[in-house]
Chains A and B, each alone.
Chain A
Amino acid sequence: MSTSFYVGALELTTGAVLVCAVMTLWRRQVRTIVTMLRLQGVALASVAGVLAWHERDLGLAITAALVLAVKGALVPWLLRRVIRLDPRSRETAPLINVPASLVSAAFLIVVSYVVSSKLTALAPSAASRLVPVGVATVLVGYFMLVTRRRSVSQIVGLLLVDNGIGLVTFLLTAGVPLIVELGSTLDVLLVVVVLQVLVVNAGARHGSFDLDQMRELHD
């Protein structure tokens, strides 16, 4: 694989991760958002795959396969089940409307470029130049956590944060040891399963599971 092809492929896949993140802010349909999440998982797996190809690293390749299996298939499938079980969570019901969210996302991307310039300067390489994209994904995910009302979008926000962290890890270190990656992936899976159970149970008990209504638990 030539260097220019490697760089191009890396930039394309990394960019896809961020685009998917921004798309989740844009679309209102929760089903679409889950699709975006699946695409992002695939993109993340391809980033790992490209890096594995370039480094000729078997461990990284296995990681890529693992990411593809969990974040590209298993997690979206679980989320779809949640949506099917809780019909009220079709719409995202944002606290900040979509255009404002997109503008904020642009602002966050700029911030992440400013912020991670120092990080990039430490070891300039094709991969580490793309670190700001990962940071931006984290920030967008966090933004989603803050501004979206439905519990499913909250889960999606959390997963975006996790994907962003994963992306930064891949780009900076060319993959952590397999066992660590395995652990963190399983963690995410567990979180999703727990949230699913919680959402379904709370939905059955209270009729809905909006974080806004959680305020009643306060004092």
Chain B
Amino acid sequence: MVLFLAGLGCCVLGLVAAMVLSIERRVVVASLSGSLGCLLTFVAASHVLISGRAASFHSSLLLPLNGVSLTLDPLGALFVAMTSFVGIATLVYYVGYAKSELRSRTALSLLLLFLMSLLSVPAASSVVTLMFSWEFMALSSMLLIMVEQRRHVEARSAAQWYGAMTQLGAASILLGLLLLSLKSGQTFGDIRAHASAMSPTLRSFAFVLTLIGFASKAGAVPFHVWLPKAHPEAPSHVSALMSSAMVAMGVYGIVRVGDDLLAGGTLWWWVVVVALGVVSALFGALHAVTSVDLKRLLAYSTIDILGLVLIGVGCSGALAATGHPGDAHLALIGALLLVVSHASFKGCLFLGAGAVERATGSRSLDQLGGLIRRIPITTALFGVGALSIVAVPAFSGFTSEWLLLQGLLHGFVDKSSPTLIVLLVGVVALALTGGLTAVTFVKAIGIGFLGQARSTGAASAHEVPRAMQFGMGILCIPCVALGVAPGLVIPLVSRAADVGSASVVSRSVENGIGLTLDHVRGAIEPMLLLAGFLMIVALISGVKSLLRRPARKVEAWRGGGDRPTARMQYTATSYAEPLQRVFADVLRPEIDVEVTHAVESHYYEQSLSYESRVDDAVERLAYQPVIRTFTRVGLAARRLQNGSVHRYLAFGFVALLIVLVVLA
């Protein structure tokens, strides 16, 4: 615990440095100090995970009334470790990335503040501490989105959306937690002790309230609208932190409240969670496929992956509620591992998108192309992230989705019908989104990095500074490590998943470099898989080199064209068009086709432009009407206010009379 506090202390030092030092020194000094802090918290959290012993700290000096209580138990420590790892990578990246506004005192100190609040949310062990850190997290990230608002005007509206949604979510969480702590004290230990004595209705009510808040943070449809706005508009290091660490706090909250504080609960809670997960996974995946903006694509894929996580968490809860703690434990390990690997690959991808934007000046896939030759290192690092997210074996995404699938599939055996349906829907959603994610990232890599440059910016791209590559590289380590040697990490995650009723089964996972599941007889050895794959590659290339014939140069068939140009390639829009057509009922795309005819003849067209936009249907159908109504009511209320003092006095007078008459 001392290490954890020292880590936070280092962040505070960085904060002071950010405010005091001159612009040349402050970026490096503050980042170094922040990274050191993250390193310390990482070590502290790893120690808790390895030893399995929780550490706690209480001080009544820092906050009035109830003071600050922090506890690092394995579940919280997993999230702290994950956040500090991403934090180190982000700060290293930031040293190279920071330019103009991003180097200001505000931007730098907000970044460190955001990091500190992210670290303290999973460590908080009382309602007040949790809400305090939660609000700090929300506010600092909202301001960070706005840092570049002078140049990106959209950032303002994104921050507005984000602010409104996060505050509503926080209010909902606060209400739920207050309901929980109504009878008991406000520390988590008290709530845990009194939870079983609460009435079932109150428990359900509290769970649903906190679920709404946490799900909105985790970007679950229909509470996701802020996410595809905020993530693309934020500076890339902030998007990486938000997408990998902050969004995960939503999952942490659901697991903490549902599995830990309320110790399981009833089946329908978890069915709701699975439903949220399924809808978000499919919705996110479909929008990611059709997105053209690279960062928007990544944002929607965050919704997709977090949806899968929610499916895992929900199925785990459902299995636990129907009395299958072993499978529940397995599904929860899968979900938590997916959160961890999402943090690494999505952090890497967002940092990569930032590097691409810095190198080419654009993040629209239709403006990119041919980057693999101009910026090979960034491409390779982005590629590792992409391989990981599409769950190619020997990368982290594969391990976590395999575990999740094992948990769901083994839950099938002779179960009551509601659970069976839940699991079945979960598996189907997992499979479908897996396919869509693959298409998405084939598009991102194929259109964005391969082929020929589609704009001068892409044609003249230059490799980004070393620090940025280094930052991405740090995040690639867990992407590969979790995929190749999952046995080293899974015991730690399994300890973190020992919450609530799932802790009945102490060990369902075997140690070792590979992975063996005890009671369901499943095993993978990614090392062997990788070795086998490499052998096959070596074999094929060997055979090929043996059978090589001298190359023959011939003219390619050109289909009437003179030379292949960049415009003949597939674009991101055209690549996604068939899928967009298939899912038109869900996506509701808006398509503009504009044809200009030649002056001489109407039968010849001079130019043709095709534009398709996929708006968020949930936003259009569910949010816009509410906003319109509010605006109308607000405008009507404005008529009451004409600035006349007499009118205000009269309001007071009438109110006084009404109160008197009502009370009498």
The binding surface of chain A is classed by DSSP as helix
Asked if B65 is at the interface of the complex by the 8 Å CB criterion, the answer is no
Chain B residues within an 8 Å CB radius of A118: 664
Asked if B642 is at the interface of the complex by the 8 Å CB criterion, the answer is yes
Q: Is the CB of B664 within 8 A of A211?
A: no
Inter-chain CA distance A163–B199, complex, in Å, is 54
Interface-located stretch among B203-211, B445-453, B648-656: B648-656
Given contacts A146-B646, A211-B646, A214-B645, contact A114 B653 (CB under 8 A): no
Q: Is the CB of B642 within 8 A of A215?
A: yes
The binding surface of chain B is classed by DSSP as helix
Chain A residues within an 8 Å CB radius of B565: none
Q: Is the CB of A111 within 8 A of B646?
A: no
Q: Is the CB of A111 within 8 A of B657?
A: yes
Interface mask (A93-107 → B, CB under 8 Å = 1, otherwise 0):
001000000000000
Interface mask (B630-664 → A, CB under 8 Å = 1, otherwise 0):
00000000000111111001101100110011011
Q: Is the CB of B661 within 8 A of A218?
A: no
Chain B residues within an 8 Å CB radius of A149: 646
Q: Is the CB of A117 within 8 A of B643?
A: no
Inter-chain CA distance A105–B660, complex, in Å, is 16
Q: Is the CB of B660 within 8 A of A146?
A: no
Q: Is the CB of A111 within 8 A of B656?
A: no
Q: Range of interface residues on chain A?
A: 20 to 34
- For B646, give its contact among A115, A117, A212, A217 (CB under 8 Å): A212
Q: Is the CB of B650 within 8 A of A146?
A: yes
Chain B residues within an 8 Å CB radius of A217: 643
Closest chain B residue to A143 by CB distance? B653
Q: Is the CB of A215 within 8 A of B643?
A: yes
Q: Is the CB of A115 within 8 A of B653?
A: no
Q: Is the CB of B664 within 8 A of A117?
A: yes
Q: Is the CB of A111 within 8 A of B649?
A: no
Q: Is the CB of A146 within 8 A of B644?
A: no
Closest chain A residue to B644 by CB distance? A215
Chain B residues within an 8 Å CB radius of A146: 646, 649-650, 653
Q: Is the CB of A111 within 8 A of B660?
A: yes
Closest chain A residue to B649 by CB distance? A146
Q: Is the CB of A114 within 8 A of B661?
A: yes
Interface mask (B224-267 → A, CB under 8 Å = 1, otherwise 0):
00000000000000000000000000000000000000000000
Inter-chain CA distance A166–B538, complex, in Å, is 100
Chain B residues within an 8 Å CB radius of A214: 643-645
Known: A115-B660, A212-B644. 13 other contacts (CB 8 A): A111-B660, A115-B664, A117-B664, A118-B664, A142-B652, A142-B653, A145-B653, A211-B644, A211-B645, A214-B645, A215-B644, A217-B643, A218-B642
* Chain B residues packing against A (C-beta within 8 Å): 641-646, 649-650, 652-653, 656-657, 660-661, 663-664
* Chain A residues packing against B (C-beta within 8 Å): 95, 111-112, 114-118, 139, 142-143, 145-147, 149, 211-212, 214-215, 217-219
Top-9 shortest CB links A-B: A218-B643, A115-B664, A115-B660, A146-B649, A215-B643, A146-B650, A211-B645, A146-B653, A142-B653
